Each structure stands twice: as structure tokens, then as C-alpha cells.
Chain A
Amino acid sequence: MDILQQISDNLQRGDDDKVFALTKQAIENNLPPKSILDDGLIAGMAVVGKKFKAHEIFLPDVLLAAKAMYAGMDQLKPLLIKEGIPAIGKIVVGTVQGDLHDIGKNLVAIMLKGAGFEIIDLGNDVSPEKFVDAALTNEASVIGLSALLTTTMPVMKKVVDLVKERNLSDKIKVIVGGAPLTDDYAHEIGADAYGFDGMNAVDKVKMLMELN
């Protein structure tokens, strides 16, 4: 079987050792790093994302697949940088101030990484200033906000307001997501987009980047 297909299959099974070894082998065989990424790792994660959405697999499977994805990606990253191949975009993500729930945010970050984006993960309990500063420092064009608690949802508006206050609305778009969120709420606080789930967030972020 094609080595890239094998990478994709083993990634879907969450076998990080095999993905590590196969990626290493593919690099040694002089396959272009970009195609190992796109046709191996990203292709595998796309299947994982689809199956997760269809409830065919669950969170543990996604987390193991992500581990396998990193086992391959960590080897490719220096090569991609050397060849001057940029990530398709940079996104700052985090759970808003006062909220310590990061499973949802991590899941979205996995899906975004799996789609080829570079992720700057600020963790949880992140202040509005820290989100905006990190986006500027890293030249990220999108900020992704997560909240699980209905009590911390209002903090999302503070981030949106801060982006406007600093006149950064043209440069930085804000996408929000999390269990209690709705499209209406995102609209109400002036966010640029709402990601219903990890896969949907990927589509929306791609849309936002085209706008920029």
C-alpha cells in the first residue's frame, strides 16, 4: 500500500508509533514534506473528523489520532519551514477568562491543526488583552474563543470589543464556539463567526481568512 495511505490509516487508528516510523520513512524516501502532510496526516485527520461528527468514533479516538498526527507533524515542521512552505493560516485559540474547560477548545485546535493551520494555544482562563496581544505578536489573523460556562460567555464580548477598540477589525477576525453558544449569541456580541463544532470551525475559519 501507498505509504501516505498507510500514514493516514494508522493515524485514524491512533497508532502514534507507526505514524512516527512511517513519516520518518517517507521523509527518507524523499517524498515532498508538503504531500506527506496533505495526503498523509491531513487526509487522515479529515476522515477522523468526519467519523467523529457522525458519532462513529468518540473523543478518546480523536485524542489518540491527534497524538499520532503530532508524531508525524513534529518531524515535518522543520522541513516545511526550511522549504519556506507556510501553514495555511495562523490562529490564536483559548478558553476565555474564568473558564477552565479546555476539552472543546483542544478538540477544535486538533481539527484546525489537522486541516493545516498553525495554532497558538493560550490554554484556558485567558484574558481579553492576552488574546489580542498574542494575535498581534504572532501575526495571527483569527482569534478562536471557547467557553463552556454560560457564566463566562459574556467575556467573549470583551475580546470582540477590544479588537474593535484597538482598530484591528480589518486584521483580526474573531470566531466563537462552545456548548452553550449559538449563532444568535455570536451575532449579538459582534463576533465574526460561530463554529458549531470542530469541523464547522475549520470551514468558518477558512471563510474568515478569505475575507482578510
Chain B
Amino acid sequence: MENVLESIAEGEILLSDGAMGTMLIDYGIELDQCFEAINLTHPDVLENIARSYCEAGSDIVQCNTFGASPMKLSMYSLEDKYAEINETAVKAARKAVGDKAVVAASMGPCGRLLKPFGDADTENVFDSFKKQAEVVINSGVDMILVETMTDIEEAKIAVKAAKSVSDNIPVGATMTFDSTPRGFFTIMGNDIKTAVKELENAGADIVGSNCGNGIEVMINIAREFKKFATKPIIIQPNAGLPEMVGGKPTYNESPQFMAEKAKQFLDIGVSIIGGCCGTTPAHIKALRQMINSYKEK
């Protein structure tokens, strides 16, 4: 597939994939530890997940690199393995989808708060994201998605770090918002207007939101993004909020429910839709059908 930014510019609506973490749980892997440690031992599971999303109709599949920045991995004493962990994830996804889908590397929070609220130095966080970006880009990834950010400063650092490795690599950045009586804010107090402005200034090619909410709240978040964004918008909702059923987290929004509601994303003018926690290949398949029939109208 050609460059995502060119496709979007030509008016394409792109479908990303669904969840990674909750899919890994369903594959039966013990997950009280590092989600990315399995890259070293079970690349076949990563291939299977990428293949199922590609077959379900995803234009973009994401690699299991969300928590694979050296700083985040250091919490599990795995920082020395960061190169191998990132490389395996990208190669597994590529092996599964070939050139049928865009392969995107996910970059999630470093796990620490920046000074003065926490103990992390800007330079160290930048360095950590840059190292991760170098490996995923050298491993042949097509784009980078900075995700689930709640601190605009950290999100900007991640975007700049990725862009410092390559000017050409498309970089998307999405943040997670809470719905409050005063509007949408991240835990750190960033609103959508600030997020859009600062992310675009930092060099993000695509901006938006993922995680934290089911689709109905995400539709309102998408509307708010549309008010301010000059760049394409990406929205990846959860399949609702998790409820514990028999000791296992379950997400209740069905593929049909999600696909029906997701039409509104297209009405609003969102360029990339996908799913976060609790979404499955079945959700992606339903979204694919919805997008295809929407286009025919």
C-alpha cells in the first residue's frame, strides 16, 4: 500500500486494527508481566494476530511495541533487549501481512512522569523514544503511532523523537481523554484544543484519540478534534469499558453496535478508524463492511 498520508489526501478512509493486549490475553498468555516479553518467545502469536486483522480488513496493522521503549522495558529489567523486542514485533507483523497492509509501530507512555511532577528528565525520555523509533524504522515499519498519551509534553517528545530519526516516516499521535462535567481532559489536564495544537506543532501528521472510552463518548471526542485539527484525524475507541465477569475483563460493545455507531466518525470526517481494548477481528470485519457500504453511497 502507498503512503498513508497520500491515501488520506486522496480521500481514502483507512481502517486500522483492533486490540493487541486483550487479544494476547485471549491467546492464553500470562500477562501480569511485560506485554512485550512475548515478542522474544512467541513471534508466531504476533503473526497470527496481525494476520487475523489483515484478513478482517485492516488497512493498517499495529506491532506489539506499545511498551517497548527502553525506559518502559527497564521496569521489567528488559531494557537491554529493546532492540530485539522491537525488531521481532515489526518483522512478525510484516511477515503476516506482506504488502497487503501498512505496518505501524505503536509507541506508548514511558511509564514515568516528567519533572517537576515526577522524576523523568526530558532528555532521557526523548532518548528512549528515539532508540525505539530507530529500531522500528530500520526494521521496515511504514508508520509510527504514538498512543494512549495523557501528558502532552511526553506525547510531543515521542513525536519529535520519531521525526528526528526520519522526516519521511508518517507519525500519528493519540491521547486518552476523560469525560468530565467541564469537558474532555487527560489525567494531566490537557484539553483537546491544546492536544491538537501542540501535537501538530511538534510535527504529528495525524492526530486523535485512543482508549479510555467506548464508541459513544469517542464520537463526541472526534467532533471536538474536528473543530481544531488541520491534520487528518484518527480515532480508536475501546469496545466499551471493561466489566469483570468471572474474574476476566469483558468488553460489551458488539461488532454490530460499534460499526453502526462508527458511521458517525465518517460523517464527522475522521480519516482513520480502528479499535482499542476489547476490540477483535470481528469488530474490524464489521467496520470494514460499514466503510465499504458507506463509500458506495
Contacts and interface: CB of A to CB of B under 8 A. Distances in A.
A-B complex is real: yes
Interface of A: 54-61, 63-64, 67, 97-100, 103, 149-155, 180, 182, 185
A63 B113 contact: yes
Contact of A152 (B32, B75, B182): B32
A60 B33 contact: no
A153 B118 CA distance: 25
Contact of A55 (B25, B180, B188): B180
Contacts of A151: 25, 31-32, 249
A99 B187 CA distance: 19
B181 interface: yes
Contacts of B181: 54-55
B221 to A, nearest CB: 16
A60 B242 contact: no
User: Closest 8 CB pairs between A and B?
Assistant: A58-B189, A98-B32, A150-B249, A55-B180, A63-B117, A151-B31, A60-B117, A100-B75
B33 A98 contact: yes
A59 B188 contact: yes
Contacts of B76: 100
Given A151-B25, A180-B242, A97 B32 contact: yes
A186 B187 CA distance: 24
B185 A55 contact: yes
Interface of B: 25, 31-33, 75-76, 111, 113, 116-118, 180-182, 185-189, 242, 244, 247-249
B116 A59 contact: no
A150 to B, nearest CB: 4
Nearest to A96: B32
9 contacts: A55-B185, A64-B116, A100-B111, A149-B31, A150-B242, A151-B31, A151-B32, A152-B32, A155-B32
Contacts of A97: 32
Nearest to B277: A150
B213 to A, nearest CB: 13
A185 B75 contact: no
Nearest to B187: A59
Pick from A67, A103, A152, A182 the residue with the most CB of B within 10 Å: A103
Contacts of B116: 64, 67
A60 B32 contact: no
Contacts of B187: 58-59, 103
Contacts of B75: 100
A64 B117 contact: yes
Nearest to A182: B244
A56 B182 CA distance: 8
Contacts of B186: 58
A64 to B, nearest CB: 7
Given A103-B113, A151-B32, A60 B244 contact: no
Contacts of B180: 55
Pick from B25, B31, B117, B182 the residue with the most CB of A within 10 Å: B117
